[in-house]
Amino acid sequence: MSKEILLLSGPNLDLLGTRSPEIYGTDTLDAHVARATAAANAAGYELRHLQTNFEGALIEAIHQARGVSVGIVLNAGALTHSSWALSDALAIFEGPKVEIHLSNPAAREPFRHRSTLAGVVSGSIAGFGALSYQLGVDAVVSILGR
């Protein structure tokens, strides 16, 4: 079996570091991915990352991860609050799935309080800023170790 964890970053996350730093911090997506990669490697896993601004590409990546990746860490950005198609794709993936957010959606605008993904993921990590990606990997590794 593979030792790969798939890390998915959704729309607008390629702009981290410059987009709303008062909400998301000043770290770039590359910095978040580097920390997540180090966490995965330290636990004996490889990390594959995909960032896309397109919902369909995220869905395709989840479909392709079946039988390849042992777990998924996903920051779907605003798609978290609107994409039932992404939820359906995640429901089909059999390994652990952890939803992450740099900010705390529950403390933000009302439309961000609902997650279409919450019912199909193993758990959610929100509001830990620069630690969120690493904590997501740590959670998948922990679930796999049970």
Banded pLDDT at 81 (limits 50, 70, 90): confident
Whether 89 shows a pLDDT value over 80: the answer reads: yes
Which residues, listed in sequence order, are joined to residue 97 by a DSSP beta bridge?
A: 72
Residue 21 CB-density burial (10 A; 0-12 exposed, 13-18 middle, 19+ buried): exposed
Q: Please tell me the predicted confidence (pLDDT) of residue 106.
A: 65
- Counting residues of the chain whose pLDDT is more than 90, the rounded percentage is 73
Average pLDDT over residues 96-121: 81
- Counting residues of the chain whose pLDDT is more than 70, the rounded percentage is 93
Average pLDDT over residues 65-93: 95
**Tokens 């609107």 map to which residue?**
82
Q: Quick one: how far is CA 54 from the chain centroid? A: 15
Which residues, listed in sequence order, are joined to residue 74 by a DSSP beta bridge?
A: 8, 99
Q: Please tell me the predicted confidence (pLDDT) of residue 112.
A: 59
Whether 107 shows a pLDDT value over 60: the answer reads: no
Computed over every residue of the chain, the mean pLDDT equals: 91
Q: What is the DSSP string of the chain?
A: ---EEEEEE-TTGGGTTTS-HHHH-S--HHHHHHHHHHHHHHTT-EEEEEE-S-HHHHHHHHHHHTTTEEEEEEE-GGGGGT-HHHHHHHHH--S-EEEEESS-GGGS-GGGG--SSTTTSSEEEES-GGGHHHHHHHHHHHHHH-
Domain ranges of the chain: 4-145
Query: Could you list the active site residues?
Result: 24, 101
Query: What pLDDT, in 10s, does the model give residues 10-31?
Result: 999 999 888 877 777 689 999 9
Which residues, listed in sequence order, are joined to residue 71 by a DSSP beta bridge?
A: 5
The angle that helices 55-65 and 84-92 make with each other, rounded to 10 degrees, is 10
Q: Please tell me the predicted confidence (pLDDT) of residue 141.
A: 98
Average pLDDT over residues 117-144: 95
Would the pTM count as exceeding 0.75? Answer: yes
Task: Provide CATH code, domain 4-145.
Answer: 3.40.50.9100
Half-sphere exposure of 59 (CA within 13 A, CB side): 11
